Amino acid sequence: MPHDHPDHTHDHDHGLSPSGHPYRADNDEPLTYWQRMEIAVRELLIEKAKISPAEIAAQIEAMDARSPANGAAVVARAWSDPAFKARLLADAGAASREMGFDIGPLNLIAVENTETVHNLIVCTLCSCYPRNLLGLPPDWYKTREYRSRAVREPRAVLREFGVDLPDSTRIRVHDSTADMRYIVLPARPEGTEQMTEVELANLVTRDAMIGTGLARTP
């Protein structure tokens, strides 16, 4: 998918980048209504001393600092510690906080992949994602294509991500329609019995926690 450009009529007058992609137009269009609204509200809050520019910058930094590594650490702990795994499946938010991840008021549910069940996360209505644990979602997660196809033909979508599951595997798609956010607890790969928690965490990819991938094998 990444190298398809179905919506472009390639205008070769503008040429292609050295990697063979059409150049992307500069984003110097006028601001949209909501961009102006955001700036106006932000400047008002600063002017009225409700919030400082430093606080805004700190919050952006905190959001940017969240990454799939946080989720991977949670998964690796669950693989290593059965009691923690039980707590994670019972209340994923509390289990994440127990590991020191400040995930705010996030209501998190962990769903477990097994030999017979594979879970896949989507938000058809918008782009709900466990940002407070995994950071920002990948661009494709927010596309209409992923959001509409994941619920209707999850097996075809998974094959495009390189995950080809037998009919005997039950696929459970989770549409985050309201107040919950989801993380997939991937199946622990074979041959990892001797690995430490830190080594295990390196096997856990972002896609494995969305369900569009599997954990890496060592």
Partner 1 sequence: MVERVRVKAMMPPGHVRAPAYLRGKQGVVERPLGAFHNPEQLAYGLPAEKKPLYRVRFRMDELWGDAAENPGDTLDAELYDHWLERL
Residues in 151-170 that interact with partner 1 by CB under 8 A: 151-156, 167, 170
Minimum Å distance from CB 163 to partner 1? 14
The answer to whether 126 is a known ligand-binding residue is: yes
Of the chain, the end-to-end C-alpha distance in Å amounts to 27
Active site members? 123, 126-128
Count, residues near partner 1 per rule CB under 8 A: 21
Q: CA 18 to CA 111: how far, in whole Å?
A: 42
For residue 18, the one-letter residue type is P
Question: What's 40's DSSP letter?
Answer: H
Minimum Å distance from CB 107 to partner 1? 8
The answer to whether 67 is a known ligand-binding residue is: no
Minimum Å distance from CB 177 to partner 1? 5
Q: CA 106 to CA 99: how far, in whole Å?
A: 15
The owner of tokens 């992609």 is 21
For residues 83 to 112, the per-residue mask of contacts with partner 1, x marking binding by CB under 8 A and - elsewhere, is ------------------------x-----
4-16 burial, b at 16+ Cβ within 10 Å, e below that, comes to eeeeeeeeeeeee
Residues found near partner 1 in the complex (CB under 8 A): 107, 124-125, 151-156, 167, 170-180
Residue stretches of the annotated binding site for Fe(3+): 123, 126-128
